[in-house]
Amino acid sequence: MSGKSDLSNVVLQAGARTFRVQVPRGTFGASPIQLADVEPKDVELVIDSLKPIIPRLDIVRQVVDANGERVLPLVMLALAHVETILPAGRTFEGSSHDWTEDALVLAVQQRTSLEMRKKLWYHVVTTREFHDDVVETHSLPKDLRTKCKSLLDNIIADFTALLFTPPPASHMECTDVIADSWMSEVISPALANDGVYRPLESLDAMKQVDWKGLGVCDSCVKGKHEEWDVEADEVWRKLGGWIE
């Protein structure tokens, strides 16, 4: 999260009301932001919805739906806040991130940075149910639910072969150990933890296996770790193409 030195004050004016809020530096210019024809209560709703640890971005969406382009600065304010609370890594866990569907809707509408959208797309797709035979309540509009299903299909199709195929190592003995252990150490845990459509988590889990303890030499362990890092980077690169 941004430190105080990374924040600056911005003034929002709606009718006779003036609001001062802190935003990440560079979000707005120095001049006050005029919100013409926007009710002060709507501005207050948005600002208050961003204060909790778990932001109420559903409220932001309601204000946006009611006001349209007039509240674009408030959308920018909300998305700037999202950027400060997104974890630095590519993946994140926990029910405290149940605001991500609403964040994804806003991020797609405003075409925020590709990196931000990739984090949100990946999290939503890999933590929600989008299979045709599963009925689940989503806050996503129909077009984004459809895209989530398509993205999920792309992820599974791309990762399945790698997950279910034991990789060769530099030494035949190490290759045999990996092949003999692949089902118990990689495939079974992945199937138990939805790893088929969570490639980044599955690739990290492969690195956590005690391959040396199973009999793989140090150089082959190092080589496999490097390969799996490359594969994770490749998944992340492809994700950018799939969501565009």
Of 32-41, 127-136, 161-170, the one with minimum mean pLDDT is 127-136
- The 3-state DSSP class for residue 1 equals coil
11: which strand partners?
A: 20
Q: Are residues 170 and 118 in the same domain?
A: no
Same domain, 15 and 77: yes
Residue 206 in tokens: 């492969």
Q: Are residues 120 and 212 in the same domain?
A: no
Q: Look at residue 52 and tell me if it is in a domain.
A: yes
Instruction: Please state which of the ranges 6-10, 145-149, 209-213 shows the lowest mean pLDDT.
Output: 6-10
How far apart CA 149 and CA 168 sit, in angstroms, is 32
Domain membership flag for residue 140: no
pLDDT of residue 7: 76
Report if residue 59 sits inside a domain: yes
Query: 94 and 165 in one domain?
Result: no
pLDDT band at 54 (very low <50, low <70, confident <90, very high): confident
Domain count, the chain: 2
Residue 187 lies in domain: 157-243
Residue scoring higher pLDDT (175 or 31): 175
Sign of CA dihedral 145, 115, 126, 162: positive
Which residue is associated with the tokens 């309601």?
62
Domain-located, residue 223: yes
103 and 174 both lie in a single domain: no
Residues 95 and 208 in one domain: no
Cβ-Cβ contacts under 8 Å for 236 (sequence gap 6 or more): 90, 118, 200
Q: What is the pLDDT of residues 120-144, one digit of tens each?
A: 999 999 988 775 555 455 678 999 9
81 and 123 housed in the same domain: yes
Choose the final residue of a domain: 127, 144, 173.
Answer: 127
Q: What is the arithmetic mean of pLDDT over 219-225?
A: 98
In a domain, 133, yes or no: no
Rounded to two decimals, what is the model's pTM? Answer: 0.87
Residue 138 lies in a domain: no
pLDDT in the model for residue 139: 78
* 85-122 confidence digits (pLDDT tens): 888 888 877 555 679 999 999 999 999 999 999 999 99
Strands of 33-34's sheet, edge to edge?
Answer: 17-24, 7-14, 33-34
